[in-house]
Chain A
Amino acid sequence: MTPRRLIVSAAAVVAVGLLACVPLVFGGYGLSLAINLMSYTVLATAWALFSGPTRYVSLATVAFFGIGAYTVAVFGEVFAWPVVLVIALAIGVVLALIVGLSTLRLSGVYFVIFTFGLAELVRQLVTWYEVNVTRTLGRYVFIDVTTAQIYWQLLALAVLVFIAGILIRRSRLGLALRVIGDDETVARHVGIDTTRAKVTLFALSAAFITVTGAVMAPRWTYIDPAIAFNATVSFQVLIMALLGGAHRLYGPVLGVVPLALLFEVLTANFPNHFSILVGAAFMLVVYAVPRGVAGLIEEGRGSLRGPRRGLST
């Protein structure tokens, strides 16, 4: 290990240790804010894990998130907690494989269109199933878990998603994805199985998002399809990742912190105009900081290593 890498690793360990102490210091509102931040960190980082290097914009975050939450609502009281998480993970991965195998062989726009309506499709299917088969729309989530435990689970997920990101970046898969992001035709010509690389990563990203939804489910106590598959979640995750910079692993976090706090203020003060304000903020990000805060930092340093990468070059 180089000294620099050693310092970074040590700093990361200390940071995780400090973050783990948050529930011991803060309670009530502070802790719920921390949970919010942590869940969006996992979601935005997991989103960027796939969409960052490949530049395939996924609009289906909440489809997976909602599936995770709904799995808990259905099986939460039937099986032990780890089993529930595994079931959620499995469903999320299967759906991701279906989406990935049917659209990722083709050019990016098919994927975007498919993910655009996916949350609505899953919502309508769940509604249909609940109305016609179980005849109850809406479920209560009674899981014996404390707020602090939810926080720690999210922290563990965040650590995992970062480790996964680092490992992928160093692996052949990571290199393959960067080539795909730069030029997919070239990638195919140098012998990369582009479909396999994309599908693998999309499934991994979806797995993290699904499990986050499962972990967050007990926060609601009551869920119905409209709550679980609320399109605003996809939107917020997207804007956070973009503001931070989807082309760097650490990028999305930089967007999560300011925006999660901003959304908190907006929902409290302008509940009726929330969608307008967030939409406007989103467009501002797309126009003003196309490469995100991470991109600004790189430009500030004046050290653009390698060709420009990222969602918007």
Chain B
Amino acid sequence: MLTDALIAGLTLGGMYALLAMGLTLQYGVARIMNLSYGELLVSGAFAAHWLFTVAGIAPLAALLLVVPAAFALSWLIYRVLLTPLVRRAPNREALEVDTILATFGLLFVVQGVLLVMFGGAYYSYSFFAVPVHLPGATVAANRLLALGFAVVVGALLYLGLTRTRLGTAIRAVAVDPVAAQLVAIDVRVAAAFAFALGGGLVACGGVLVSMFLTFNANLGVVFTMKALIVVIMGGVGNLLGALIAGLILGLTETFVATWIDPGLTLAATYAIFLVTLLVRPQGLFGIGRR
């Protein structure tokens, strides 16, 4: 039971960490508070479902289609919808308010499109659902696969951001967009790239999640919420913090669902959020930023 919960929690936590990494790129680097973030996850999940059941493409192969598509779509959203707001905003606070409002509208548009296309029913498909026997627990192979992929993608992202020139530029923009310009970093390109990368990550998360969770068109809001909480908990812009916070959240939720009541998982999420706000609002590893 304990091992079961641990593995389920780690898988879920890995997903949350992946989502939070994408969101922290969008919020920390591009300075866009994206409330429609989870909608792209649900879109990715539906795309994987459609590709698997209709076209017979395995979810892992679907990643090769879905992630670039989500990257391109996010880039487009940034260029067309969000750049005018970035130009219009006199300061960071005003941009935050504007992007919150614009993406809140986008949330309802995307959700509406998904509802028209797929209805409100829950979807799932059976992929690679063979039991794997581990010491003390039996797990479906698709969960382990999802976790493995999340780890690989997360590691690649981390290395890409810390070891490459573009990654360094992105981190510089996260620290200080004005100073980044002074060292010849094109802030707008870096921000658009970070936003699109975040979109690619969340769609990847959507495909992985669809392999082992049931999902419906209304689930986006909850995922956005959890990703936001993980970002705050880990410290905005902190990838390692997002990883640890994601695992904490995933484990807590699974433990609450296993031993207390599955109906109280969101309450557990909020309890963690509340404690974070009261004790360490700058995040576990955040620097004192009021």
Contact = CB atoms under 8 A, between A and B. Distances in A.
Interface string B75-109: 00000010011001010011011101110111111
B281 interface: yes
Contacts of A127: 263
Given A108-B93, A108-B96, A238 B232 contact: no
Contacts of A277: 112
Contacts of B281: 105-106, 110
A200 to B, nearest CB: 19
A113 interface: yes
A245 to B, nearest CB: 14
B46 to A, nearest CB: 16
Contacts of A204: none
Interface stretch (B51-59, B151-159, B270-278): B270-278
Contacts of A59: 104
Given A121-B270, A127-B263, A235-B108, A116 B225 contact: yes
B228 interface: yes
Contact of A117 (B225, B261, B278): B225
B229 interface: yes
A275 B224 contact: no
Nearest to B271: A121
Interface in A247-292: 272-280, 282-283, 286-287, 290
Interface in A92-134: 102-103, 105-110, 112-114, 116-117, 120-121, 124-125, 127-128, 131-132
A235 B107 CA distance: 11
Nearest to A55: B97
B232 to A, nearest CB: 7
A154 interface: no
Interface in A218-243: 231-232, 235, 238-239, 242
A114 B277 CA distance: 10
Nearest to B228: A113
Nearest to A128: B263
B61 interface: no
Give the most central of B81, B222, B228: most A CB within 10 Å: B228
Contacts of B278: 102
Contacts of B90: 313
Contact of B100 (A112, A128, A232): A112
B184 interface: no
B116 A132 contact: no
B141 interface: no
Contacts, number: 126
A276 B102 CA distance: 14
Chain A CB count within 10 A is highest, among B84, B111, B112, B232, for B112
B240 interface: no
Contacts of B116: 272-273, 276
A153 interface: no
Most interface-central of B35, B109, B267, B278 (chain A CB within 10 A) = B109
Given A59-B104, A275-B108, A110 B232 contact: yes
Given A108-B93, A128-B264, A290-B98, A276 B113 contact: yes
B267 A125 contact: yes
B221 interface: yes
A56 to B, nearest CB: 9
A35 interface: no
Nearest to B263: A128
Nearest to B33: A109
Nearest to A278: B108
A57 interface: yes
Nearest to B27: A109
A100 to B, nearest CB: 12
B129 interface: no
B95 to A, nearest CB: 10
Given A283-B109, A286-B98, A312-B98, 5 more contacts: A59-B104, A113-B228, A117-B269, A272-B115, A280-B109
16 contacts: A102-B274, A102-B277, A103-B277, A108-B96, A110-B277, A113-B229, A114-B277, A116-B225, A128-B263, A128-B264, A235-B108, A275-B111, A275-B115, A278-B108, A279-B105, A311-B97
The 9 A-B residue pairs with the shortest CB-CB distance in the complex, in nearest-first order: A275-B112, A279-B108, A276-B112, A279-B109, A282-B105, A128-B263, A117-B225, A283-B105, A286-B101
Interface of A: 55, 57, 59, 102-103, 105-110, 112-114, 116-117, 120-121, 124-125, 127-128, 131-132, 231-232, 235, 238-239, 242, 272-280, 282-283, 286-287, 290, 311-313
